[in-house]
Structure 1
Amino acid sequence: QAYEYGHAYSDLNLKLTTGAYGASFFMLTGFHGFHVTLGSIMLLVIWFRVMAGHFTPENHFGFEGVAWYWHFVDVVWLGLFIFVYWLI
C-alpha cells in the first residue's frame, strides 16, 4: 500500500486535494488497509490462543468471530477493487 500511495502521489499526481477521486481513493484504500492490519493482529492473537488450547469443538466462538471479520474484509476488498480500479 505504501508503494501504491507513493506511485499515485509522485507519478500520477494523485493527492487528497485533487478532487473527489483522490479523496475517495486514499480514504477507501486507507480504511481497508487499517482493517487488514487489524484483521492480521486478530489472526495472530487467535493463532496464539489455538496453540494455547483455548478452543474446543464446542467452544470456539473467538475463532469464528475472527473468521467472519476476515471474510467481511475480503468482500469489501472485492467491492473496492471493482469501484476504485475498474470503474474509474
Structure 2
Amino acid sequence: MKTSEELEKELGEFRTRFDALKREIQKGIVGYDELLTDTLAAIFSQGHVLLEGVPGLGKTYLVRSLSKILGLDPGRIQCTPDLMPA
C-alpha cells in the first residue's frame, strides 16, 4: 500500500500533466473550460461523454483535438431526425 506522501506526489504529477494538457487544448478551443475539464475527467476515469448542442459550437473539434492529443480513436453517432423514434 502506498503512503500518503507517495499518493500526494503522484497526484501532484497527474495535476501537472492534466493542467499542461488543458492548456494545450485551450490554444485551439476557447471558452469551454468546464466542458473540457469534465470531458477529460470522463476520459481518465474510462467513462463516456455525450455532447449535445446546436451546430457550430465546436463539439466535433473538441473531440478530434482530444483524440489526436491523447492518441485515442473517437466514436461518433450523428443523431438525425430519421434516427429518432416515431
Q: Note whether the superposition's TM-score is higher than 0.5.
A: no
TM range (shorter): 0.3 to 0.5
Q: Which has the larger radius of gyration?
A: 1
Relative contact order, CA 8 A, sep 6+: which one is greater?
Answer: 1
| TM value normalised by structure 2 | 0.36
Structure with the higher fraction of residues in helix conformation = 1
